Amino acid sequence: MLSVSKEKKIILKNGEPFFYLADTCWSAFTNITKEEWAYYLYKRKSQGFNTIQINILPQWDASDTDLCFKPFENENPYKLNEEYFEHAYQMCVQAKKEGFELALVVLWCNYVPGTWASQMFSQGILPFDCLENYVNKVHETFTKLNPIYIISGDTDFPEKETEKYYISVAKQLRALAPDCLFTTHIKGRYSYIPEELLECLDLCFYQSGHNAKDLSMPYSLSEEMQRKYPDKPLINSEPCYEQMGYSGKMYGRWTREDVRRAAYVSVLSGACAGITYGAAGIYSWHKADKGFMTKLGEGFDTPKSYQEAMNFPGAWDYGFLKECLNHFHVEGLIPCQNLLVNPTNEIRVAQAFEDLLFVYIPHNTKVKLCLKDEWKVTAIDLSNRFVSHLNVEQKEDFIQIEMHPFDLDAFYIIKKGA
């Protein structure tokens, strides 16, 4: 059973700290065969993931598929397809048997009026009066598996009618499933959550997203969300996806180093209840001989096949971050940017305990921290897992850590003592 810690900073599982490490598989219920699902679970479990994020209804920008799993009979939202929900339930049962928690999106933004997606693609908007029956079916199918319910998917809240849909669904499902955790997945570079919806939520998600024009989003959104919603655990539930094309049809793709940076920056900036990984080709479950709607949504370029995407190395980087925090029994991080002397926000500093600090350094330089006494610094090369112990020089008002010997980004473990 999942719950929120007394301090409202982390998630607990059966009373013990649980670092939410999710993989994004939005299209699982519509695009994945039984054999593919078994392999997917095996692979992600081996990489350390403990949660899977899935869209209950068909993902609007899923890749084409030969499968025919439809939630509504004859596209009629008033007639639920029992076979679809049984199929989805069995997939979830299999995931639970492998040790995964489930984070299920109830209403992606294209199903709700007024959102940025439904304004672009209005054919899928659900009538308000069909929601009660649908939510009852969601509860009947999934609540027994104790999922985290993600009320919205990639949404904004531009209209009162939009808020009405999500608030109504949240209140109904909350009454039916009071022991489940609730959150909402909002669109990238966005932080607004209506107050009446916020009252239904146990934790907050934000999305630093896939726009390459502003690389500050993993930490600046984290800081903004903590100011607005200080009493809820915080997770970056959609950082940039590995090998995803930049949004807005901008040329370029996110690399392993980009997605790793987003993870470390988010967590050390205070979004420390967990982190979510995504791979282009996995969330849409793309097959090499199938189409992908590059003109839909944010205009992403065509992904690689799911077979190739399953082997992207960034997934291992996310698992390594979780293992580092678990190794030190970290139960929450306090951002400590005030300790950093270097004139940049890109280096991130956080305190785990009074005698233990973590630093993420994306590019090599001497790191200066407003600390006194003696400190030992262990640097981990995040590309290769090489380890180096760095010299520390005590200045008048700060310590100066020598440059690490690696080529790319590094994670510093800083312990007090000689």
pLDDT of residue 299: 67
Nearest Cα to Cα of residue 220 among 203, 207, 233: 207
Q: Spell out the residues 6+ positions from residue 169 whose beta carbon is closer than 8 angstroms to its own.
A: 106, 107, 131, 135, 151
Q: Which of 362, 371, 366 is nearest to 339 (CA)?
A: 371
Taking residue 91's Cβ as centre, other Cβ atoms within 10 Å add up to: 21
Number of H helices, E strands in the chain: 11, 20
The pLDDT score that the predictor gives to residue 292 is: 72
Contact 414/361 with Cβ under 8 angstroms?
Answer: no
pLDDT of residue 300: 85
Question: pLDDT in tens for each of the 418 residues of the chain?
Answer: 999 998 889 999 999 999 999 999 999 999 999 999 999 999 999 999 999 999 999 999 999 999 999 999 999 999 999 999 999 999 999 999 999 999 999 999 999 999 999 998 888 999 999 999 999 999 999 999 999 999 999 999 999 999 999 999 999 999 999 999 999 999 999 999 999 999 999 999 999 999 999 999 999 999 999 999 999 999 999 999 999 999 988 999 999 999 999 999 999 999 999 999 999 999 999 999 876 765 456 668 889 999 999 999 999 999 999 999 999 999 999 999 999 999 999 999 999 999 999 999 999 999 999 998 899 999 999 999 999 999 999 998 999 999 999 999 999 999 998 7
Provide CB contacts within 8 A for 307, sequence distance 6+. 288
Q: Give the domains, in start order, of the chain with CATH numbers.
A: 2-327 (3.20.20.80), 336-416 (2.60.40.1180)
Residue 289 has a pLDDT of 81
Which pLDDT value is given to residue 298? 65
Is the overall model pTM greater than 0.85, yes or no? yes
E-strand spans in 154-220? 181-183, 204-206
Report the SS3 class of residue 388. strand
